[in-house]
Amino acid sequence: MNETPQPDPYVPPSAPEEPPPASPEKVKRVATVFAVTVIVISALIFFSVLKHAKAPREPKPIDSNFKGKPAPDFALKDLSGRTVHLSDYRGKAVVLNFWASWCAPCKAEMPWFVELQKQYGPQGLAIVGVSLDDDATPEQIAKFVQRMNVNYTILLGKDDTAKLYGGVDALPTTFYIDRNGTLLDVTMGLPSEREEIEDNVKRTLASGKTSQISPAASTAASVGGDQH
């Protein structure tokens, strides 16, 4: 008589082996790498924000010690490669505007400068924009200026130039220089309306000696400063 086969007894599956605990040295090494990574990323974000923070919404006065003193002269290249000195504009009322293409308030006021240069250029106004773009090539700046239909002189700025004018801690920063080369006023940030800039332009035109440049020559000089 055949015996009925008995089923094999149930054997539960064995639990997976637990990985050995990490050594204190490995834990410390991983924690150090993580901390360094966080610090590096935080630093990159901080410096990126800091660079693009030069754009206050409201205009603020700069150190009053600037007012009434001669505007520091400089020599910078324009977009055609020509060297331009601030002293070249002696006899004209100069609006010296420090700006950058990444600065939204700078772009917002550019059309106002275009209108003011067109309106007051024949009276002796010379608007001079000094680009403080660190990451843009002259060719890129020229294309940007062309898109903005800028009709006034654009110069390629340097850190040394900004330092001459107090470091230019925020953009846009605009200096108003009379016909004698004297600093009349300085503002920082985007004005709430075009008329605020125009009032400063009128005061600058009225200050200092009368320009010896004829209206025809003044108009020609203004056209010669176009960056198209």
* pLDDT for residue 66: 76
| Alpha-carbon separation of residue 151 from 67, 101, 138, 225 (angstroms) | 28, 16, 17, 7
CA distance 215 to 213: 7
Predicted confidence at residue 86, as pLDDT, reads 98
- Collapsing DSSP states into helix, strand and coil, what is residue 154? strand
Q: Poorest-confidence range of 4-8, 34-38, 91-95? A: 34-38
Who wins on pLDDT, 129 or 158? 129
Categorize the per-residue pLDDT at 169 as very low, low, confident or very high, splitting at 50, 70 and 90: confident
Considering only 87-91, 100-104, 168-172, which range has the smallest mean pLDDT? 168-172
- For residue 155, give the H/E element and its range: strand 153-156
What's the gap between Cα 96 and its chain centre?
14
pLDDT in tens, 142-154: 999 999 999 999 9
Q: For 17-53, what is each residue's pLDDT tens digit?
A: 555 665 666 555 655 655 555 454 544 443 443 344 4
